């Protein structure tokens, strides 16, 4: 296993850097909490969990600019490909996946919706990325019992979970997600970007600490979190 660097870029946007640079849900334009500007973003792969604008974000421009594909749900991939002929897409579906540029991306369910330009575009998804150190990015989702199955099938080392409430789980529900996933580390996301999504990461951490199941890392925007080749957080 190589070193893995995880960086939060606000909302649901994360960058995973190992041998490759993977960008998930790159919502930059209109994101008041991001440290990125879309012009200087480098990526080997862009992963999009669903079509909502706070997740698809600037994915098309970034993928085109870097000449790299977008991995997303097949209906959204088709819709984008129809509109942007030069765009490279990998349209996967639930429980499926693809290996692009040596990066393994697996799709898992998310209990949410997905639309693009006011049309439904298939199901939303969560993703499990990586082969050695595995990161589960839940996308937007409520809590669901099959998170146990995600643990059994994928054993993510780290889970990135929405806690903002209103559109997704709040800290109270996310705590149940943590108990089912049992990953070593959890990182909260999708909170504080706008007033509506008011879930508090400290409250989430307290709830998770009580269970003793996982260690919560409250990411700071733009500050890399480094995991060594043994999968342990470097401190």
Residues near Ni ion, by CB under 5 A = 52, 140
What tokens appear for 113 in the block?
Answer: 């919706």
> With respect to Ni ion, which residue has the nearer C-beta, 51 or 156?
51
In the complex, least distance from residue 114 CB atom to Ni ion, rounded to whole angstroms: 7
Our finding on whether 25 is near Mn ion (CB under 5 A) is no
Do 178 and 214 touch, CB atoms closer than 8 A? Answer: yes
With CB under 5 to 8 Å by kind, the binding choice for 15 among Mn ion, Ni ion, none is none
| Residue 61 contact among Mn ion, Ni ion, none, beta carbon within 5 to 8 Å by kind | none
Decide if residue 140 touches Mn ion (CB under 5 A).
yes
Q: Name the binder of 75 from Mn ion, Ni ion, none, CB < 5-8 A by kind.
A: none
Helix or strand holding residue 191 (H, E): none
Residues 51-70 that bind Mn ion (CB under 5 A): 54
Which residues, including other chains, have CB under 8 Å from residue 57's CB and lie 6 or more apart? 13, 25, 26, 27, 28, 29, 31
Residue range at the interface with Mn ion (CB under 5 A); choices 20-28, 36-44, 140-148, 174-182: 140-148
- H or E element in which residue 105 lies: strand 103-109
CB 156 to Mn ion: min, Å: 20
Distance in Å, CB of 50 to Mn ion, minimum: 8
Centre a 10 Å sphere on the Cβ of residue 122 and count the other Cβ atoms it contains: 21
- Determine the Cα angle at 170 with ends 132 and 203, to 5°: 85
Would you state the structure tokens that stand for residue 88, as one six-digit string? 């490279």
The binder of 44, among Mn ion, Ni ion, none, by C-beta within 5 to 8 A per type, is none
The span from the CA of 67 to the CA of 65, in Å, is: 6
Contact range with Mn ion by CB under 5 A, out of 32-40, 132-140, 174-182, 220-228: 132-140
Query: 84-92: long-range contacts (C-beta < 8 A, 24 or more apart)?
Result: 84/60, 87/60, 87/63, 88/63, 92/125
How far is it, in rounded angstroms, from Cα 218 to Cα 215? 10
Report, in Å, the least distance between residue 55 CB and Mn ion: 6
The residue range among 75-83, 119-127, 133-141, 169-177 that interacts with Mn ion, by the rule CB under 5 A, is 133-141
Contact positions vs Mn ion (CB under 5 A): 54, 140
């Amino acid at each position: 296993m190589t070193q893995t660097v995880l960086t939060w870029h606000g909302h649901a946007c994360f960058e995973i850097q190992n041998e490759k640079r993977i960008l998930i849900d790159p919502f930059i334009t209109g994101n008041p909490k991001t440290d990125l500007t879309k012009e200087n973003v480098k990526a080997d792969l862009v992963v999009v969990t669903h079509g909502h604008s706070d997740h698809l974000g600037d994915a098309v421009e970034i993928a085109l600019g870097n000449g790299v594909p977008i991995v997303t749900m097949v209906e959204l991939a088709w819709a984008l490909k129809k509109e942007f002929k030069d765009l490279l897409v990998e349209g996967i579906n639930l429980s499926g996946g693809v290996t692009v540029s040596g990066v393994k991306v697996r799709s898992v369910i998310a209990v949410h919706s997905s639309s693009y330009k006011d049309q439904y575009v298939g199901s939303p998804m969560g993703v499990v990325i990586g082969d050695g150190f595995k990161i589960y990015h839940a996308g937007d989702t409520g809590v669901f019992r099959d998170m146990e199955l995600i643990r059994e099938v994928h054993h993510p080392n780290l889970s990135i979970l929405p806690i903002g409430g209103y559109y997704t789980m709040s800290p109270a529900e996310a705590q149940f997600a943590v108990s089912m996933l049992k990953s070593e580390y959890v990182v909260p996301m999708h909170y504080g970007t706008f007033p509506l999504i008011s879930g508090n990461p400290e409250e989430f951490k307290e709830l998770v600490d009580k269970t003793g199941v996982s260690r919560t890392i409250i990411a700071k925007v733009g500050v890399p979190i480094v995991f060594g080749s043994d999968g342990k957080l470097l401190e």
